[in-house]
Homo-oligomer: A and B are copies of this chain.
């Protein structure tokens, strides 16, 4: 996986059902704006609020609609369900599996290593590690990432720690392997590319896919300064749709852009009027920005 892959939100109807039609529209909406691959059932998808069947169907729908590769989120706190979901993603035609560090229970680094090795041994799909301490309270150590990268079926990682220092260390620890190091924080896309990152899986790419894609394009064209300057224009919006207002903020911002984001699912609550206005103002600035591309 290279370039920009949005961790797709899942549009829900007002009643809380998965809105398949809107999901298909969303695939088209982001593809039309230049993304390189798609990531259904990541954290931004509210996957943890869906049943296993719903998650499998979301992957199926996205694979069916997509014209770019699909990296499907299949991780779960337990190994068995992780493998089941990975098999269903493989059956649906996904290209690779994004496997989050097992959460809820606390595990040692040794247990995490054994877990990933065992999952990679049996997974029918190439495995991408996924480290997102804001949700799981655990960050994969670069040394551990280095050891896991030598497994033939571990192909990369999404690092959502936000730490460029850790990103650089993971890059060094995996330098001998063919390993796609993807960044999961839109605020540091350009620095991560500077550090040898293969691309980004960014909440931001749901609401501003063309802008994220442009940062990647500028970087690949060798214009690092322009890539960083454009990325800097996106940091306030990025923060608002992640740390500040989370998925409800992301979906509100997407709706402000006209994207088929749908509703949130309980326990998520829609953002209030004041937050929505703040997001709309950030989206207005974004529209001005992307109109210049």
Contacts and interface: CB of A to CB of B under 8 A. Distances in A.
B195 A194 contact: no
A279 to B, nearest CB: 16
Interface of A: 16, 46, 48-52, 77-81, 84, 102-108, 110-112, 114-115, 118, 135, 137, 162-165, 168-169, 171-172, 185, 187-188, 191, 194-195, 224, 228, 231-232, 235-236, 238-239, 246-247, 265-269
Contacts of A80: 16, 49-51, 265-266
B266 A114 contact: yes
Contact of A84 (B51, B108, B164): B51
Nearest to A194: B228
Contacts of A232: 168, 171-172, 195
Nearest to A189: B165
5 contacts: A46-B78, A105-B267, A114-B269, A168-B187, A172-B236
A218 to B, nearest CB: 14
Contacts of A269: 108, 110-111, 114
A104 B107 contact: no
B267 A102 contact: yes
A135 B104 CA distance: 6
Contact of A79 (B110, B162, B247, B267): B267
A16 B108 CA distance: 20
Contact of A185 (B84, B111, B165): B165
Contact of A105 (B79, B106, B135): B135
